[in-house]
Amino acid sequence: MAHGRCLAAARARIGGSVTDTIRRIAHLDMDAFFASVELLRYPQLKGLPVVIGGGRRKVDEAIMRHVPEGGTLADIPVEAFPLLKDYVGRGVITTATYPARVFGVGSAMGMMKAAKLCPQAIVLPVDFDEVRRFSRQFKGIIRDIAPIMEDRGVDEVYIDFTDVPGGQREGGRVLARLIQKSIFEATGLTCSIGVAPNKLIAKMASEFQKPNGISVVYESDLQTRIWPLPCRKVNGIGPKADEKLKRLGIETIGQLAGCEREWLIANFGKATGAWMHEVAWGRDNRPVVTESEPVSMSRETTFERDLHAVRDRAELGAIFTHLCEKVAEDLQRKGYVGKTIGIKLRYDDFKIATRDQTVASFTADGKVIRQTAGHCLRRVSLERPLRLLGVRVGTLAKADSPEATAPMSEGTGLRTPSRARTKAQDTTGSLF
């Protein structure tokens, strides 16, 4: 029985015929992401070299002045935009459009140095809010098509194509095309996708045809398409490991594959050596992990100068209340409630103290958080000045989940603290 089910699960009906299902993992990465987001706002810059870097507000204001009467941002003349050659400062480039990359300009390069290579490039600041908005949007589009998606940062994700309709056709190309098209139609942004037997190879493959490309790689392509690549292309082989490999005469992944596993272990240690051997042979069975639920949410702040609980009482109190309100806002915005409320302090001698307390019913209420965190504060020493103060809410549940909406459990409303208690050193009295 079990065997029969396995077989059935390993097969998919495609175009009327039954074909074996093979593991298809995609890696999708947005093209020149921060720069592309700016080009949506200023479409007149399409096709021009543009770099992202430098401070934000000043540039915005300078450009805004050039919006013609009754016009929009798209009507600002190209000549009005600041150029790299006029940049003075120590900023580095966050990213560059593909026309700018032609000049050798790219991420992490100093702006003054880049100005020598491409003085005519337009410089724009990053708008993080806008970037985050598009990041959420493109990920939402993907999830609607292929629900097993792993968020890998602002502009990239892994997607498990294996059991998604279209995920097997042309090795995944059909589904990749659909995703690319859907993202472009909704946002105007392009991305590149690699589809491969696993995450490791998919990540490399997404770079093969950038920008706006799709690359499909099969297990049998290992020798021809992966082995000629430099070792540095393996996600996880950083500059240090790469340098050491080079010293040992190993430049390409193929050369790495030619090394004895034991030799790699002798040179790089057990875990890294064994891992290098596996990746060189294209082996990686890490699953695509969909969004993990947050364990806690917290806010903390390091003060500009150390603050003392008595001497700086008002200032500290205001910051504390603000942190509690911010955590409450985070919880509410993300749709969570929590039960364990805690504080974290760092003293001027860098020692850290934490305390927490569990309340009877789930909350995302700033006042409840403030009150409970205040109780926690009374349980730590406040004799030394403080460098940092943090507030955390843990034991989270979705605000609309059954456990969160269940009637309040019996009791006093406050439970015993969950951490080992030190005797309360109440130097603050009712300060908090």
Q: Cite the active site residues.
A: 156
Closer by beta carbon to ligand TTP, 114 or else 404:
114
Residue 11 identity (one-letter amino acid)? R
149-151 sheet: strands from edge to edge: 149-151, 156-160, 25-30, 191-196, 214-216
Least Å distance, CB 58 to ligand TTP, is 19
Contacts with Mg ion by CB under 5 A lie at 29-30, 33, 155-156
Closer by beta carbon to Mg ion, 33 or else 275:
33
User: What does the block give as tokens for 365?
Assistant: 């209420």
Least Å distance, CB 36 to Mg ion, is 9
Residue 160's binding partner, choosing from ligand TTP, Mg ion, none, with beta-carbon cut-off 5 to 8 A by kind?
none
Contacts with ligand TTP by CB under 6 A lie at 29-34, 94-95, 107-108, 154-155, 210-211
Residue 95's binding partner, choosing from Mg ion, ligand TTP, none, with beta-carbon cut-off 5 to 8 A by kind?
ligand TTP
* Residues 87 and 156: beta-carbon distance below 8 Å: no
Taking CB atoms, the residue at the shortest distance from ligand TTP is 95
Closer by beta carbon to ligand TTP, 107 or else 272:
107
Closer by beta carbon to Mg ion, 30 or else 237:
30
* Residues 119 and 158: beta-carbon distance below 8 Å: no
Least Å distance, CB 47 to ligand TTP, is 16
SS (H, E, C) 256-308: HHCCCHHHHHHHHCHHHHHHHHHHHCCCCCCCCCCCCCCCEEEEEEEEEEEEC
50-52 sheet: strands from edge to edge: 95-96, 50-52, 122-124
Closer by beta carbon to ligand TTP, 141 or else 154:
154
How far is Cα 361 from Cα 322, in angstroms, rounded to an integer?
22
Residue 284's binding partner, choosing from ligand TTP, Mg ion, none, with beta-carbon cut-off 5 to 8 A by kind?
none
Residue 356's binding partner, choosing from ligand TTP, Mg ion, none, with beta-carbon cut-off 5 to 8 A by kind?
none
Closer by beta carbon to ligand TTP, 112 or else 274:
112
Residue 81's binding partner, choosing from ligand TTP, Mg ion, none, with beta-carbon cut-off 5 to 8 A by kind?
none
SS (H, E, C) 124-162: ECCCHHHHHHHHHHHHHHHHHHCCCEEECCCCEEEEECC
Return the residue matching tokens 């008002």. Answer: 314
Q: Which of 174, 178, 177, 222 is nearest to 196 (CA)?
A: 222
User: What does the block give as tokens for 35?
Assistant: 């720069």
Closer by beta carbon to ligand TTP, 84 or else 309:
84
Residue 108's binding partner, choosing from Mg ion, ligand TTP, none, with beta-carbon cut-off 5 to 8 A by kind?
ligand TTP
Least Å distance, CB 36 to ligand TTP, is 8
DSSP 8-state assignment for residue 209: T
How far is Cα 235 from Cα 25, in angstroms, rounded to an integer?
15
Residue 361's binding partner, choosing from Mg ion, ligand TTP, none, with beta-carbon cut-off 5 to 8 A by kind?
none
Least Å distance, CB 34 to Mg ion, is 9
C-alpha separations of 106 from 41, 43, 76, 132, 369 in Å:
21, 21, 26, 21, 45
Residue 94's binding partner, choosing from Mg ion, ligand TTP, none, with beta-carbon cut-off 5 to 8 A by kind?
ligand TTP
Closer by beta carbon to Mg ion, 155 or else 160:
155
CA 279 to chain centre: 23
C-alpha separations of 356 from 290, 365, 374, 404, 428 in Å:
30, 16, 10, 20, 17
DSSP β-bridge partners for residue 336: 398
Residue 232 identity (one-letter amino acid)? R
Least Å distance, CB 155 to ligand TTP, is 4
The helix (run of H) or strand (run of E) holding residue 36 is: helix 33-41
Least Å distance, CB 152 to Mg ion, is 8
Least Å distance, CB 192 to ligand TTP, is 7
